[in-house]
Each structure stands twice: as C-alpha cells, then as structure tokens.
Structure 1
Amino acid sequence: MKKNLISVIILALVFANFVLTALLIFTVLPETKKANKMIDAVCSAIDLDVNSGAGSNQLSVPIDQTEEFKVNGGETMTMNLAQGSDGKSHYAVLSVTLLMNTKSDAYKKYGANSAEGLTAKESIIKNDINQVIRSYTIDDFNNDVTGVQDQILSDLQDMFGSDFIVGVNFSSVTTE
C-alpha cells in the first residue's frame, strides 16, 4: 500500500509539474518573444547609427596603405574657440595630421608628390580646420575631440570630393 501511495504522489507531482510547465510556456514565452523583438530592434537601430556617415574618423584602410600629411609642417597652430558661457575668450593650440589612403585614385592627384598636392592646398585646409574649431566652445571641444576630428574629416572629404583622406589626428592639443 505504501508503494502505491508513493506512486500516486509521484504521479500527482509529475502531473502538477506538467501543468505548471504548460502554464509557463503559454504565459511567459510570448512576453519573452516580444521583449526579444524589442531588444533586436533597439540593437539594429544602434548598429545603423554607429556605422552611418561617411566621415567617421576610423582607419578603414591598412596602415601600410596610408601616408601622413602634417598640416603647417607639423608646427602647432593657435585658433580661437567660440565664446562660452563664461564670456571669456578661449583658444586651442594643436598640431594636425591628415592620414591619406595611398591606394585611392585621388591620392595621385592630391598626394604629397603631385604638383597639385596638399601642400599647394594647405591654406584652404588650414582655413577649413580653423572654421570647424571656431564653432566649438572650450567645453564642447574638450568633451568631444573625436567629434571635432570627424567634422574636419567630413569637411575635407567634401572639399576634395573624395575619401582619400581617411583620418584626422591631433598630435598635440592644448586649450586655454
């Protein structure tokens, strides 16, 4: 009799487990699927935002296919920043280096060894860099140096109508 009673209890527990599992499947699983769809939608939106834009300051070409161009001969340039909330004038002292893709078709035209090279266009490049930097306050500049570099890169790519310039680097930056 004891064995039958234990068998009945085990059978009842197995049945209860089956009922609770079915309840779990039909109540929790649909909500989990909805949450997963929402998470997938958010992740795909973030991926699109991160990868969008032509002017991302990321080196997308191998390092052996790049060449540096030091703006202003590698010397520092002093540029005014936009007036901030404190009402004082601020400036940035920085050295700018452009990274060029040597395998790009535009490199043959504007590269370092050509007659129409970047050296001939250096005053235009400096002016563009100056205009971008002047649009930032000291706080905005210090908090988003990468954004400043991306903006300069985007402007230069638009100016030359090509993406042979693949990066903008500040080798030294001082703000006051």
Structure 2
Amino acid sequence: MKKNLISVIILALVFANVVLSGLMVFSILPETQKANKLIEQVSSAIDLELKNGSGASVTDVPIENVETYQLKDGEKTTMTINLAKGSDGKSHFAVLGISLSLDKTSEGYKKYGPAALDEKSTIVLNDINVIVRKYTIEQFNADTDAVKKAILKDIQDMFGKDFVIGVNFSTVQTE
C-alpha cells in the first residue's frame, strides 16, 4: 500500500510539474518574443546608423555632382570671429572664408538648394560663429579639421545629412 501511495504522490507531483511548466511556457513565451523583436529593431537601427550615420562625405560623391556654395556676410566673403582666450590671456580672432560642398543629386538639394542657403545664411553664419568662438587660437591652429567637422555636423543637423557634405576654408588667418 505504501508503494501505491508513493506512486500516487509522485504521479501528482509530475502532473503538477507539467501544469506549471505549461503555464510558464504560455506566460513567458510571448514576453520573450516581444523582447526578441525589440532586440532585432535596436540592432537593425544600430546597423543602419553604422552604415550611414554621418551621411555622405565629399569623397563618396563624384566631383561632377558636388557644387560649392560660398557663404557671404552681405558682400563680404570672409567673416571675422573672436576666438576664446588662450593660455596667454590675450584676445585673438580668425578671419575665415567659408564655402560648403553640396551634393547636387541628393533629396536635400532638390528640397532646399542654394536658394535656401541664401535665405538662411544669417542663421548658418551665426552657428559657425558660435562654434568657432569655442576654440582658442592654439586649438584652432592645431586642428582645423575638428572645427570643420563641428561646423559640418551643425549644418547637417539643420539641413539633413545628404545636402551639405563638406565645409571648406578658402581663407584662414588667425591673429
């Protein structure tokens, strides 16, 4: 009789285990599938960002599809910008002639074009002024590419990554 009682208890425990396992499968499986979908979406977004996070660059676009746009402050093709005070404590400035490289085949070019840059040139020049002012004369002279990249990032945030693909300094003088 003891063997039958133990067999019945074991059978009841096995049945309870099967029921609880089934309950876990049906309660956890949908949440796991949702988590997998989320992970796939995040990984695909990261993959897209790695592939075209910075938009096109001048080297990616054939030269015949690149148009240069000279930024002007009124009639002047250069702008004078005060730089941050350096280690010497003196005031310094930079005189820059700035042009932008535009991708003529991009959707942004069709949407904005040089006319939009004419209209928004004051905003663009102000943003450039704000960015360049953050650099000391030592930092500016040591790494003008970093300054160009900061300006490009700001303009791409404004107009989109495919429209403006490069920033060029035609004239650079620091004092």
Q: Do the two structures share a fold, i.e. TM-score over 0.5?
A: yes
Structure 1 unmatched runs, 5+:
1-50
Work out which of the residue numbers 77, 83, 99 in structure 1 matches 2:101: 99
Structure 2 unmatched runs, 5+:
1-50
Q: TM-score, normalised by structure 1?
A: 0.65
Residue 159 of structure 1 deviates from its aligned partner by: 1.2
Q: What CA RMSD, in Å, does the superposition of the two structures yield over aligned residues? A: 2.1
Identity %: 50
Residue 110 of structure 1 deviates from its aligned partner by: 1.5
Match of 1:87? 89
Q: TM-score, normalised by structure 2?
A: 0.65
Match of 1:168? 167
Whole-angstrom CA distance in 2 between matches of 1:130 and 1:89: 15
Count the aligned residue pairs. Answer: 123
One-letter amino acid of the structure 1 residue matched with residue 71 of structure 2: V
Q: Check 1:84–1:98 CA distance in 2 against 1; reply closer, same or farther (3 A cut).
A: same
Whole-angstrom CA distance in 2 between matches of 1:55 and 1:74: 30
Residue 109 of structure 1 deviates from its aligned partner by: 2.0
One-letter amino acid of the structure 1 residue matched with residue 166 of structure 2: G
For the pair 1:137 / 2:136, whether they are aligned, the reply is: yes
One-letter amino acid of the structure 2 residue matched with residue 66 of structure 1: V
Whole-angstrom CA distance in 2 between matches of 1:163 and 1:82: 31
Counterpart mapping for 1:16-35 below 5 A: none
Whole-angstrom CA distance in 2 between matches of 1:146 and 1:53: 19
Counterpart mapping for 1:18-167 below 5 A: 54=54, 58-72=58-72, 75-112=77-114, 114=115, 117-167=116-166
Q: Secondary structure at the match of 1:118?
A: helix
8 Å CA contact retained: 1:57, 1:150:
no
